[in-house]
Chains A and B, each alone.
Chain A
Amino acid sequence: MSEPVTNESAAPSVTGSAVSGDPAPLLSLRAITKSFGAVQALRHVDLDIPAGQVTALIGDNGAGKSTLIKVIAGIHEPTSGEKFWLGRKVDAHTPRAAAELGIATVYQDLALCDNLDIVANMYLGYEETRRAILDEVAMEVRTRQTLADLSVSTIQSVRQLVGSLSGGQRQAIAVARAVMRDAKLVIMDEPTAALGVTQTKNVLDLITTLASRGIAVLVISHNLNDVFAVADRIAVMHLGTLVSSGPVANYDTASAVELITTGTTSRAA
């Protein structure tokens, strides 16, 4: 178990995209390793995230999913390994640098201010002003436009306080905020956790909409139903190693569960 596991489905993912003629990945990770003292949280992770596709990152608790997205979001600096953005080697070891590339992370707590309205939350930290006065009209116009572009239709007024929104609507606001700032890669951490059936569907629709607009989406989820409903690609982590990745067609629920729990699968995909 402590040996890094390699199997058939992991190997082609490194070179496979070029061979099969897929578009060049937006973000490529090569041999990313991250150690916290003696603990190796990530071991030689190779991952391609193509634009316009939904990549689902799955794995058990402690498999290294969170560490991996923090490396991508620039919160953790990898111990070794390289990141390529559109084929170009980048560092992006700070959240700001990652944000400037176009990487936006929607954390589980969403980081919204309940006491502010939707417009204020969308623009928090990036307010538009005219002669030092908040330009509420311009901000409201663009907020409405962004939400309409993402087909978010359940919201009555953009002047509603965020505290009055449902969980799914809050998720939509957090995602729309990232999109409005021209995010090219949106990372979502457990977006459907604790959502009801209808709201889960709304969020999954939103994820699909993002991908159809050419945005790369990296979703962490424990819910395999959601993963298979929305993902174009799947990446499985086990004990800090990326044990398998590829198009969703290569997996079924049984093989995914096996990969999550044991790191290998006996089933031919």
Chain B
Amino acid sequence: MSLDTSALESGGTPSSRQRLRALVGGDLGLVPVLIALVALVVYFQVRNSVFLSAANVTNLFIQAVIYVFLGMAEVWLLLLGEIDLSLGWVAGMAGSIAAIVTNVQYAWPWWAAFLVALAVSAAIGALWGLFVVRLRLPSFIVTLAGNFIVEGVLLYILDHVFQGGGAPVQEKVLSDLTNGNLTPTWTWVFVVATVVVSAVVALSRERARRRAGLVNAPLYRLVVKLVALTVFGVLLALVFNADRGSFIPIRGMPFAVPLVFGVMVLYSFVLARTKFGRYLYAIGGNPEAARRAGIPVDRYRVYAFLLGGLTAGIGGLFYVSRLGGYSSSSTDSTVVLYAVAAAVIGGTSLYGGRGKMTYPVVGGIILAVIINGLVLIQVSATMEFVVTGVVLLAAVTVDSLARRSQTLLK
């Protein structure tokens, strides 16, 4: 790696050089993406004042849920430099299974249905993983083949096993995933609890480091983050608690929001605070180093595929809930590309080793803003594809440039 240029430097003035590296080396985290998000929101709001209405913002968040879940699913794989192109149909499979078995015809309890649906989606993911590690096949090809297989099997099930080519959602919990709301009081409880818990966790970590005599990042950064979180939470609560109903009043945060948030926090915790997460990053960064450190690299690859399938399955439950059912005409071949887009737009690297679970959340919201906003300013559906494609291309370009500048500067 970069051995030829290392003779040029002699270890002087590292601070300015490192600062430059941090700047161009893609270490800005979410800041540029958030700026882009704000710019998009302002643009659409200026073009159509309905954009930031309570009803549309709520709708936008529900739209984003599927992209966020599929994006988080892809992050498990992208961290290892792998990809799963079948996740769109895997999500459809999980959603359809849940819809079918909770249908009046079978009438399973919701929890059993969710369990089976998620087990199937996780198993499909793990199967691709086994092909990739056992036969050393590229995941791109394995999951592309898998995409067709799952699509075919699902359409067969919808057409033949279940009558009439569609599975309507007839179960309350499944329907409530995207259609139910917290009461306004519980909305506030959720927001306040989130802010308080974040502050307590951050401050106790700060105190533990200080007690051990370690240097802390400047306190203002933590304060800025907490203030930003509080402002964002209060704004969300105000928007969600405003009446958005046309005939009867509808208020409160959709269940989907705290559920997505909870999964994101859990996944982030696993990635940042456990050996499991540390090893995924290590394998993504340098598989040979990970292997020499005694990490069972192949087993972790399969785990990543399994978690990708599982997460896509969770997304599928929300997807079928929002559509009110699943039929052979609910096309899904493009949704997986939105999933990759959500992860990459947020800042996850396609080359492995870099990414966080917060990235697809922001990326998914950006996609939803674009898709929702373009409809509101009455741009045709064909333009929607073009704009999304351009955004994805831009994100991948930034990723590639960040990587190249890192190598050049070393």
Partner of A111, one of B289, B353, B410: B289
B10 touches A198 (CB 8 A): yes
A70 to B: closest C-beta gap in Å: 13
Q: What is the CA–CA distance of A198 and B15 in the complex, to the nearest angstrom?
A: 18
Nearest residue, chain A, Cβ from B22: A164
Q: Which B residues are CB-close (under 8 A) to A194?
A: 3-4, 6-7
Nearest residue, chain A, Cβ from B282: A113
B286 touches A112 (CB 8 A): yes
Binds A, one of B103-111, B212-220, B221-229: B212-220
* Residue B136 is within 8 A (CB to CB) of chain A in the complex: no
* Residue B281 is within 8 A (CB to CB) of chain A in the complex: yes
Nearest residue, chain B, Cβ from A140: B214
* Residue A263 is within 8 A (CB to CB) of chain B in the complex: no
Nearest residue, chain A, Cβ from B409: A164
Which chain A residues (148-166) contact chain B, with CB distance < 8 Å?
Answer: 154, 156-157, 160-161, 163-164, 166
Binds B, one of A39-47, A131-139, A221-229: A131-139
* Residue A124 is within 8 A (CB to CB) of chain B in the complex: yes
A134 touches B274 (CB 8 A): yes
Q: Which A residues are CB-close (under 8 A) to B1?
A: 114
Q: Which B residues are CB-close (under 8 A) to A262?
A: none
B75 to A: closest C-beta gap in Å: 14
A134 touches B6 (CB 8 A): no
Q: What is the CA–CA distance of A63 and B369 in the complex, to the nearest angstrom?
A: 65
Q: Which B residues are CB-close (under 8 A) to A169?
A: 11
* Residue A67 is within 8 A (CB to CB) of chain B in the complex: no
Q: Which A residues are CB-close (under 8 A) to B243?
A: none
Task: Tell me how many residue pairs across A and B have CB atoms closer than 8 Å.
Answer: 112
* Residue A109 is within 8 A (CB to CB) of chain B in the complex: yes
* Residue A125 is within 8 A (CB to CB) of chain B in the complex: yes
Known: A163-B410, A167-B3. A115 touches B284 (CB 8 A): yes
Q: Which B residues are CB-close (under 8 A) to A199?
A: 6, 10-11
B8 touches A196 (CB 8 A): yes
B212 touches A141 (CB 8 A): yes
Q: Which A residues are CB-close (under 8 A) to B2?
A: 167
A124 touches B3 (CB 8 A): no
* Residue B37 is within 8 A (CB to CB) of chain A in the complex: no
B87 to A: closest C-beta gap in Å: 24
Q: What is the CA–CA distance of A160 and B27 in the complex, to the nearest angstrom?
A: 11
* Residue B293 is within 8 A (CB to CB) of chain A in the complex: yes
* Residue B330 is within 8 A (CB to CB) of chain A in the complex: no
Q: Which A residues are CB-close (under 8 A) to B8?
A: 196
Q: Which A residues are CB-close (under 8 A) to B286?
A: 111-115
Q: What is the CA–CA distance of A160 and B406 in the complex, to the nearest angstrom?
A: 14
Q: Which B residues are CB-close (under 8 A) to A254?
A: none
* Residue A1 is within 8 A (CB to CB) of chain B in the complex: no
Which chain B residues (17-38) contact chain A, with CB distance < 8 Å?
Answer: 18, 21, 25, 27
Nearest residue, chain A, Cβ from B1: A114
B13 to A: closest C-beta gap in Å: 11
Nearest residue, chain B, Cβ from A154: B11
> What size tier do the contact residues of chain A reach?
35 or more
A237 to B: closest C-beta gap in Å: 25
Interface residue tally for chain B (C-beta within 8 Å): 42
A112 touches B15 (CB 8 A): no
Which chain B residues (76-123) contact chain A, with CB distance < 8 Å?
Answer: none
A115 touches B281 (CB 8 A): yes
A156 touches B353 (CB 8 A): no
B19 to A: closest C-beta gap in Å: 11
* Residue B208 is within 8 A (CB to CB) of chain A in the complex: yes
0/1 interface trace, chain B 211-251, chain A, CB 8 Å (1 if under): 01111000000000000000000000000000000000000
Q: What is the CA–CA distance of A199 and B2 in the complex, to the nearest angstrom?
A: 15
A193 to B: closest C-beta gap in Å: 8
A196 touches B7 (CB 8 A): yes
A125 touches B294 (CB 8 A): yes
* Residue A79 is within 8 A (CB to CB) of chain B in the complex: no
* Residue A127 is within 8 A (CB to CB) of chain B in the complex: yes
A95 to B: closest C-beta gap in Å: 8
* Residue A14 is within 8 A (CB to CB) of chain B in the complex: no
A164 touches B410 (CB 8 A): yes
Q: What is the CA–CA distance of A140 and B215 in the complex, to the nearest angstrom?
A: 10
Known: A137-B209, A198-B11. A127 touches B4 (CB 8 A): no
Partner of B6, one of A112, A116, A196: A196
Partner of B274, one of A116, A133, A144, A154: A133
- 16 A-B pairs within 8 Å (CB atoms) are namely A111-B288, A111-B289, A115-B286, A124-B290, A124-B295, A125-B294, A126-B293, A132-B275, A134-B278, A137-B214, A140-B212, A144-B214, A154-B14, A164-B410, A166-B9, A196-B7
Q: Which positions in B face A, CB cutoff 8 Å?
A: 1-4, 6-11, 14-15, 18, 21, 25, 27, 208-209, 212-215, 273-275, 278, 281-282, 284-286, 288-290, 292-295, 353-354, 406, 410
Q: Which positions in A face B, CB cutoff 8 Å?
A: 109, 111-116, 120, 124-127, 129, 132-134, 137-138, 140-141, 144, 154, 156-157, 160-161, 163-164, 166-169, 193-199, 202
